[in-house]
Structure 1
Amino acid sequence: MPVVPLADIQRAAERIRSSVVRTPLEASASLSRLVSVPVHLKMEHRQRTGAFKLRGAANAVLSLPPGTRGVVAASTGNHGRALAHAAREAGLACTICLSHLVPANKVAAVEALGARVHVHGASQDDAQREADRLERDEGLVAVPPFDHAAIVAGQGTIGLEIVEDLPDVTAVLVPLSGGGLIAGVAAAVKALAPDVRIVGVSMERGAAMAASLRAGHPVEVAELTTLADSLGGGIGLANRWTFDAVRELVDEVVLLTEAEISAGVRYIYQEEHEVVEGAAAVGVSALLSGRFRPRGATVALLSGRNIDPALHLRILNGADALEVGA
């Protein structure tokens, strides 16, 4: 079973220590009052590139063999930004493939880090096919956004920090997409505290991992526009790592409407004074909507802040969810 061992996650923590921020775990008085148990927010949106993805990307790049010519990846935005940053720090060329669904602010952010950008196709799967072509034709090393042992181990360092900072944690709410984040966090948390409940949270519109879990194997789904755009894309029909890990380690999956996601973004800004993207708000949204009812100390992982400012403003002003997310 391809679950990344705790020792690999601990080695990743040492490897990336100088490359990433050890983000804080902060108590939320408002959410704690609302659900009547202690709620803490893991502030991973404060990571150097504005999202958790830097941990996995840095671990993967720092694990590459000498003489690597360059790296390539498909991304919905945040992995591309993280890989571009990590590659620049290591002096490597970087190419990122993005679909036309990726918001313009995320495309610009990747370009600003010096990466070569290919905008290709109408879905993450289309972008992945372009990345595969460049890997084959140009001899680049693929660093995929989630289905990669070094990526999973890097993201798992978040789980180490959560257990260290909150030993009595009973549940961790984690955004669920391709599974790299939740597979790593779950592997670390379950190894250190086996009784902690790991809850994956995603959107109703095009959640590929949720559909694959229901089917019992990886499946393709239509990629739809959503406020949680970072959670879009497939998991790969030839998935090697994350599907089995999620099936083994994740206790529950919660799916949210666009209205519930927008309510979470709004709440986090109004009550916590933090700017997050839709994908990062889903844990809080699950608590606000009552779709997850905690029984003890709970952590919601805020995974990224790279939201288009105009979209964020429309959400704060109460725009209809279908207007901003569909």
Structure 2
Amino acid sequence: MTNLPSQDDIKHAHGLIKSHIRKTPIFSIDGAAFGLDQPVDLKLEMLQHSGSFKARGAFYNLLSRDVPASGVAAASGGNHGAAVAHAAHKLGHTAKIFVPEISSPAKIKKIQHAGAEVVVQGERYADALALCESHQSNSGAIGLHAYDGFHTICGQGTLGKELEEQWGDDLPDSLIVAVGGGGLISGLASWFGQRIKIIAVEPEQSCALHQAIDKDEPVDVEVGGVAADSLGAKRIGTKGFEILQSKLHESVVVSDNAILRAQATLWHDYHLVTEAGGATAFAALQSGVYSPPKGEKVAIVLCGSNVELEKLAQSNDLL
């Protein structure tokens, strides 16, 4: 067994980063629209610094490791890069971020706004990662893996600690989480264990975890669809998969149409701005792909908001 995060590791991470991150709110909505007899809790983590939960892992990495003069480098579909750029800027480090050509302009602009150098090259995240690793080798810059590093998973796991502080003794029965490379969901699973049901949601066209469960090991998958820039990992993280094998309750996939409809609903009905990946967990409940048993208390993580607002303005036809 590899070195996997414990609750104590996550508590330590939270102690280091809590002055650098936002405590994001929980917003409860009427569950009747989904056939539920009690409210659904939405964790608004898309309000986190840099527009996603990724700031947690970025800060914990940089606060826990020695950063050389050559700075830090990261490969990203966009959100991880924006988080690393933000954390590096706040802590006084230089950053170089490698993103694939599918990354959204909103995410690239956010990285640049934080003062990092951006290299846009390659079709997919895996291409950007190869370029980033070459740069690290040549420059001496340290790398921050988007999802499969111990410090990254611990940092993302602080979201679980924060949620439990907000809920107190009234934990939900299930927590629905979107999955790309697995850093967030494995951090949450490391915190909660089997005290609540962890439900993984992936797009049909980018489902590395679902395929790994089917094959009983991480495998390379094809990546595509509307959420590929945030959830388009070619392979689930090794550490994350090891954690989830014993702690995940259920894995489901949703269509691109369901994701876009969820994104539109969150905007038009609740005035919540989410990118496609940030709306993917909500799509599982709205579409009925995940159907909670009667009486189940459900919570959903809305994990990212880096989207061009004109796309939301044009989403009326999806409702």
One fold, TM greater than 0.5? yes
Aligned-residue sequence identity (percent) comes to 29
Q: Which residue of 2 aligns with 1:279?
A: 277
Tell me, yes or no, if the aligned pair for 2:75 and 2:129 is still in contact at 8 Å: yes
Q: Which residue of 1 aligns with 2:291?
A: 293
Which of 249, 267, 270 is residue 268 of structure 2 equivalent to? 270
Q: Which residue of 1 aligns with 2:107?
A: 106
Corresponding residue SS for 1:241:
helix
Q: Which residue of 1 aligns with 2:310?
A: 310
Count of residue pairs brought into register by the alignment: 314
Q: Deviations over 1:158-194 (max 9, x none)?
A: 111222222331100011110000000111112xxx3
Tell me, in whole angstroms, the C-alpha distance in 2 between the residues paired with 1:284 and 1:28.
Answer: 12
TM-fit CA distance, 1:220: 1.3
Tell me, in whole angstroms, the C-alpha distance in 2 between the residues paired with 1:315 and 1:67.
Answer: 45
Judge which range, 71-80 or 29-38, deviates more.
29-38
Tell me, yes or no, if the aligned pair for 1:35 and 1:293 is still in contact at 8 Å: no
Tell me, in whole angstroms, the C-alpha distance in 2 between the residues paired with 1:204 and 1:159.
Answer: 26
* Cα RMSD (Å): 1.8
Tell me, in whole angstroms, the C-alpha distance in 2 between the residues paired with 1:291 and 1:240.
Answer: 26
Tell me, yes or no, if the aligned pair for 2:221 and 2:235 is still in contact at 8 Å: no
Tell me, in whole angstroms, the C-alpha distance in 1 between the residues paired with 2:67 and 2:227.
Answer: 40
Q: Which residue of 1 aligns with 2:242?
A: 244
TM (norm. structure 1) is: 0.91
Q: Which letter maps to 1:183?
A: S
Corresponding residue SS for 1:219:
coil
TM-fit CA distance, 1:56: 0.6
Q: 5 Å matches for 1:219-258?
A: 219-227=219-227, 229-235=229-235, 239-258=237-256
Q: Which letter maps to 2:97?
A: I
Q: 5 Å matches for 1:55-70?
A: 55-65=56-66, 67=68, 69-70=70-71
TM (norm. structure 2) is: 0.93
Q: 5 Å matches for 1:1-326?
A: 1-2=1-2, 3-29=4-30, 34-65=35-66, 67=68, 69-166=70-167, 167-190=170-193, 194-227=194-227, 229-235=229-235, 239-295=237-293, 296-318=296-318
Q: Which residue of 2 aligns with 1:322?
A: none
Tell me, yes or no, if the aligned pair for 1:27 and 1:39 is still in contact at 8 Å: yes
Q: Which residue of 2 aligns with 1:323?
A: none
Unaligned runs of 5+ in 1: 320-326
Unaligned runs of 5+ in 2: none
Tell me, yes or no, if the aligned pair for 1:73 and 1:131 is still in contact at 8 Å: yes
Tell me, yes or no, if the aligned pair for 2:147 and 2:153 is still in contact at 8 Å: yes
